Amino acid sequence: MSEVLELLDVSVVRDGRPLVDQVSWSVTEGERWVILGPNGAGKTTLLNIASSYLFPTTGTVQILGEKLGGVDVFELRPRIGIAGIALADKLPPGQTVLRTVLTAAYGMTAHWQESYEAVDEERARAFLDRLGMTEYLDRRFGTLSEGERKRTLIARAMMTDPELLLLDEPAAGLDLGGREDLVRRLGRLARDPYAPSMIMVTHHVEEIAPGFTHVLMIRQGKVLAAGPIEQELTSRNLSRCFGLPLVVERQGDRWTAQGLPLT
């Protein structure tokens, strides 16, 4: 098993303040990680490092065996799939869902003159189908609901056959049905042995799909806990992470958390 991601003593400092503070973390091939933490904790900053878009102020980062700073990021990036809100804003709203997914195969956000291979189109249709988007192939991306947009972005991220898949709050803004539908689909992906290693940022333990194996908890840029989910996703760790008394429970293969009542 090889390391997919390795951060050693990584800090990101802006305006004299560490957004990520001496983080050491490694993700091994096949693992599925959840990053949990309150608003402003540094979760997206960590994902931006993992996607090679942000270089740390200090420390070293290895992504898919390549050292950040010593590798051409344009060769590295196609090996990483990213589904996040920031990307959604960069995609042309007038482009169809199918085109939106297809353009990922060529590492671009809009389609110009490139001719797509039939095999690419088949792949795009297959990923969209797995995410329940078959009925929307010809719809314009900009007209999709938030849930439909998120599922399209995940299909898009899978297009390049990435070795590492990064999901930034995939269930944020979804209604209960939409969340549960997405969690089921992510669960299927997480348990697929051929699926890439995965890192998902979330605010809610209810959004952790079955099949996720590890959790990293971060608060004010510092890692509070990192390791196997059954070991680290405890009431104690979660309470420290979010800064109030919380009780976390496992129900079957899902998680729930509640604050303790005020006395």
Ligand X SMILES: Nc1ncnc2c1ncn2[C@@H]1O[C@H](COP(=O)(O)OP(=O)(O)OP(=O)(O)O)[C@@H](O)[C@H]1O
**Near ligand X by CB under 6 A: residue from 18, 42, 170, 196:** 42
Q: Least separation, in Å, of the C-beta of 104 and ligand X?
A: 23
Only segment of 12-20, 98-106, 146-154, 235-243 that touches ligand X (CB under 6 A): 12-20
The answer to whether 23 contacts ligand X (rule: CB under 6 A) is no
Asked whether 24 and 79 are in contact (CB, 8 A), the reply is no
Only segment of 35-43, 109-117, 131-139, 206-214 that touches ligand X (CB under 6 A): 35-43
Only segment of 32-40, 66-74, 129-137, 148-156 that touches ligand X (CB under 6 A): 32-40
What is the distance between the alpha carbons of residues 7 and 23, in angstroms, rounded to a whole number? Answer: 7
CA distances from 233 to 34, 41, 172, 238 (A): 10, 17, 20, 7
The answer to whether 39 contacts ligand X (rule: CB under 6 A) is yes
Q: Footprint of ligand X on residues 91-110 (CB under 6 A)?
A: none
| CA-closest candidate to residue 156, choices 177, 143, 170, 145 | 170
Which residue, 40 or 107, is less far from ligand X as judged by CB? 40
The answer to whether 43 contacts ligand X (rule: CB under 6 A) is yes
Task: Give me the DSSP letters along 18-77.
Answer: EEEEEEEEEEETT-EEEEE--TTSSHHHHHHHHTTSS--SEEEEEETTEETTSS-HHHHG
**Near ligand X by CB under 6 A: residue from 5, 7, 10, 19:** 19
Asked whether 222 and 22 are in contact (CB, 8 A), the reply is yes
CA distances from 204 to 32, 55, 170, 217, 225 (A): 16, 28, 11, 12, 16
Q: Least separation, in Å, of the C-beta of 192 and ligand X?
A: 27
The answer to whether 14 contacts ligand X (rule: CB under 6 A) is yes
The answer to whether 40 contacts ligand X (rule: CB under 6 A) is yes
The answer to whether 51 contacts ligand X (rule: CB under 6 A) is no
Asked whether 165 and 198 are in contact (CB, 8 A), the reply is yes
**Near ligand X by CB under 6 A: residue from 23, 32, 37, 246:** 37
Chain residues that interact with ligand X, rule: CB under 6 A? 14-15, 19, 37, 39-45
